[in-house]
Amino acid sequence: MKKLFVGVAIEHDTENILSTFKLRHRQLNDVRWVPQENFHMTLCYIGHTTEEEEVKEKLEKIASQHKMFTLEYEGLEVVEKEGVTELVWARYGILSNFIELTNSLHEELLGEPPSREIVPHITLGRINAELNPSDFNLTYIANLPLFPVGRLTLWESEQIHGGVKYTPLAEFELDNDLR
């Protein structure tokens, strides 16, 4: 049984900029930084399944029904849940194309729409203690390149010693017909 999710891989330029941000904040010991090789944008978490081939067939169909698009960077954010600082991420603007795609993924793969609004973002770190947003230089990254969403990736998530490893299993091109 594999633990799967659908996401979008990020381009090397963006990866390098985000890694530099992490390096500038490595003194924050209460942050578990995401390894550069694990950077991605999650669109749909599937969880444990034995139905990998069925998931791939559905992803092929979904990808053919959606056109590629780009997301625009909005800024770095420290995210709180119930008053507790939990994540630092690079947030992107929400477009109707993004909402339609994530809704299709959830409905086709999980049988229901998302239970909450999906915010397009790349997680940079998970915060283990109460840190202040002022502990981060959130203006460090003034701009990131546009984020192209042209290919869906099916990833496997595996617990390994010292963290998590994400392995791409298959890729599915979105419709690039710009008519």
Neighbouring C-beta atoms of residue 34, cutoff 10 Å: 23
Token code pair at residue 67: 């056109």
Asked if the model's pLDDT at residue 99 lies above 90, the reply is: yes
Could you read off the pLDDT of 33-87 as tens digits, one per residue? 899 999 999 999 999 999 999 999 999 999 999 999 999 999 888 888 777 778 8
pLDDT at 101 exceeding the cut of 50: yes
In tens, the pLDDT along 138-148 reads 666 768 899 99
Judged by DSSP in three states, 72 sits in: coil
| Mean of pLDDT values over 171-175 | 96
| Token pair in block for residue 90 | 């690079």
Look over the chain and give the mean of its residue pLDDT values, rounded to a whole number. 90
Q: Answer whether residue 161 shows pLDDT above 80.
A: yes
What pTM did the predictor assign?
A: 0.89
pLDDT-derived band at 179, boundaries 50, 70, 90 = very low
Residue with tokens 């397009």: 120
Cα distance between residue 114 and residue 159, in whole Å: 25
- What are the phi and psi torsion angles at 91 (to 5°)? -100, 145
Please state, in angstroms and rounded to a whole number, the distance separating the CA atoms of residues 30 and 128. 5
